[in-house]
Amino acid sequence: MSARHEEWEADAEAIAKALSSPLRLRVLRLCAFDARTNKELALLLQVNPGTMLHHVRTLVDTGLLAADPERAGTRGAREVPYRATGLSWRGPRLPNQSVVLLETMRQQLATVDPEDIDTTWLGLRLNAAHLQELEERLYALLQEFKERGPDDDGDPYSLVTVLHPDLNPRSA
């Protein structure tokens, strides 16, 4: 195995580990459009700043977060804001990714008024070709909106799609 391949595998493993935490996924979401400091993230996610610093460092070390230029905070304190790099969108698929994403979504939705949540659940019966078509079209649509970037006058939203085999056997 080449040194470059070993390095890539180590990077992929570190990224996978970093993405295995619902808290770190929420940090990435909060830093997707606006750079935020460790203190701001700790306040928004209601965690200890020391705990947040550990998670921020993990994300920075893996290239999932990048520091913006330092700025002066309240009372002249030095603050480092961080912004998500987008690497998580292209990151490796994880064996437990769906469990982590669903837990992240559960934590995030716990703070949202149920009246503000729009959900859809659709049962489908698809052959392999149509399933592949659906997956490709969903990915293309999501990629298109990601590449557009944020609207300057836009409000923040989260979108989760879950496509899974349905335990709904055919009738006899």
User: Any idea of the CA torsion for 143, 148, 150, 156, to the nearest 10 degrees?
Assistant: -40
Helix, strand, or coil here: 67? strand
Give 47-75 pLDDT, tens digit per residue. 999 999 999 999 999 999 999 999 887 78
Here the tokens at position 63 are 């290239």
Q: What percent of the chain has pLDDT over 90?
A: 50
Q: What is the pLDDT of residue 7?
A: 60
Assess contact for 97 and 17: CB atoms under 8 A: no
pLDDT at 157 over 70: yes
More confidently predicted of 168 and 31: 31
Q: What is the pLDDT of residue 74?
A: 76
Give the whole-angstrom CA distance, residue 30 versus residue 32: 6
Residue 11 within any structural domain of the chain? yes
Could you tell me which residues come within 8 angstroms of residue 129 by beta carbon, excluding any fewer than 6 positions away?
Answer: none
Residue 81, beta-bridge partner list: 37
Residue 24 within any structural domain of the chain? yes
Placement of tokens 């019966």 in the chain: 125
CATH, residue 98: 1.10.10.10
Could you list the residue range(s) of the whole structural domain that residue 61 is in? 3-148
Assess contact for 18 and 64: CB atoms under 8 A: yes
What is the domain count for the chain? 1
Residue 154 within any structural domain of the chain? no
- Most confident range (mean pLDDT) of 6-10, 133-137, 145-149, 168-172 is 133-137
Helix, strand, or coil here: 71? strand
